[in-house]
């Protein structure tokens, strides 16, 4: 049914998935009355999880923090709420950019 090349590709793709950790970039913001949040999900290499958790505050000049959730997901969040949804979306983009710059070199 499957050719050997197709089977090998499927196995490699599944193996790649097992070596990736889930990450959630989440930014709080105020909408005038309530605190809300916006977020973006992604993956990072397993071997970079501790780097992000230990260094995100330093890399971001204390704007963002990183921790492991109860579901073993890396959560990167802003340390103070943004002033609007668009500012929070910019924070999410910046969080992802900072993480990628330091873990994908």
Q: What is the pLDDT of residues 7-31, one digit of tens each?
A: 666 666 665 555 789 999 999 999 8
Does the domain made of 20-103 have the CATH classification 3.10.20? yes
Whether the per-residue pLDDT at 1 is higher than 60: the answer is no
Q: Is 99 left (phi over 0), alpha (psi -120 to 50) or beta?
A: alpha
Distance CA 95, CA 79 (A): 12
Q: Is 50 helix (H, G, I), strand (E, B) or coil?
A: helix
* CA distances from residue 39 to 59, 76, 82 in whole angstroms, order as listed: 20, 10, 13
pLDDT tens by residue, 37-52? 999 999 999 999 999 9
Domain residue extents for the chain: 20-103
Distance CA 80, CA 62 (A): 10
Give 58's Cβ-side CA count (13 Å radius): 6
């Amino acid at each position: 049914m499957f050719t050997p090349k197709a089977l090998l590709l499927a196995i490699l793709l599944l193996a790649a998935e097992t070596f990736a950790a889930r990450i959630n970039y989440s930014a709080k913001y105020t909408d005038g009355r309530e605190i809300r949040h916006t977020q973006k999900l992604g993956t990072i290499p397993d071997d970079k999880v501790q780097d992000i958790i230990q260094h995100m505050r330093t890399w971001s000049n204390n704007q963002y923090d990183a921790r492991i959730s109860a579901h073993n997901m890396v959560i990167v969040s802003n340390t103070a709420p943004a002033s609007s949804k668009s500012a929070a979306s910019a924070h999410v983009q910046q969080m992802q950019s900072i993480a990628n710059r330091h873990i994908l070199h």
